[in-house]
Amino acid sequence: MANFEELSQAVFDGDGEQVVEITKSLLGSGADPQEVISNGLIAGMERVGVLFKNNEMFVPEVLMSAGAMNTGVEVIKESRKNFDMPSSGKVVLATVKGDLHDIGKNLVGMMMESNGYTVYNLGVDIEPDKFVEAVKQYQPDIVAMSALLTTTMMEMKSTIDALVEAGVRDNVKVIIGGAPITQDFADQIGADGYAADAASAIDLCKGLVDGNARDALSA
């Protein structure tokens, strides 16, 4: 009979067909859908995240694993119409005003979703007031901003200032990332954290949502 370790391995291998087969088998044998997600699907992506962080896996492989995991999630949703997906937290994600880069941002979003976060991906070239609207609408735990250009970095500060002015800054944690971004810059503009890559962003989010930001930053 299929087990969680086999499902985790199938996700790790990026084998969508195998993920579907094992997920159906586990559900058919009476496994709890939430355990299938936590102990099988997410467990596989956590292994991917560790290797990706250590430069032992690369973006195409990560995308394959994330896609495989998503096929398993869809099987669960289809078989359990009233099943509520467990959420590790809610994240509003976007590239800031003036910046059209989205590959890194989308990878971060996919990794977040694969780790159980509900992600509201606003897209690229997002003005500060759009971030404010999204925070009011979705009430996220985290706002994640990306910038790939030195000329758009300061839009991160403009966005934080807008959140302060709107009275919602204290309701969220703000994290930033992108090629020109550093921890020093994050400190300068009042962000709660900086992540150098998608895997680090997951660690950071976990720490911030759990209230252990310093542990996440040193992970």
Residue with tokens 């009979």: 1
Dump the DSSP string for 26-55.
HHHTT--HHHIIIIIIIHHHHHHHHHHHTT
Contact between 23 and 6 under an 8 Å Cβ cutoff? The reply is no
Map residue 194 onto helix, strand or coil: strand
Residue with tokens 């991917």: 48
pLDDT in the model for residue 1: 67
Burial environment of residue 69 by CB neighbours within 10 A (0 to 12, 13 to 18, 19 or more): buried
Amino acid at 71: T
Q: Give the chain's domains with CATH numbers.
A: 4-79 (1.10.1240.10), 89-217 (3.40.50.280)
Per-residue tens of pLDDT for the chain, all 219 residues: 689 999 999 999 999 999 999 999 999 999 999 899 989 999 999 899 889 888 899 989 998 999 999 999 999 988 887 777 778 899 999 999 999 999 889 989 988 988 889 999 999 999 999 999 999 999 999 999 999 999 999 999 999 999 999 999 999 999 999 999 999 999 999 999 999 988 889 889 999 988 754 444 433
Backbone φ and ψ for 150, nearest 5 degrees, come out as: -65, -30
Burial environment of residue 197 by CB neighbours within 10 A (0 to 12, 13 to 18, 19 or more): middle
C-alpha 51/C-alpha 58 separation (Å) is: 9
In the chain, which residue ranges form alpha helices assigned H by DSSP? 4-13, 16-28, 33-35, 43-53, 59-79, 103-114, 128-138, 154-165, 183-189, 198-210, 213-217
Map residue 197 onto helix, strand or coil: coil
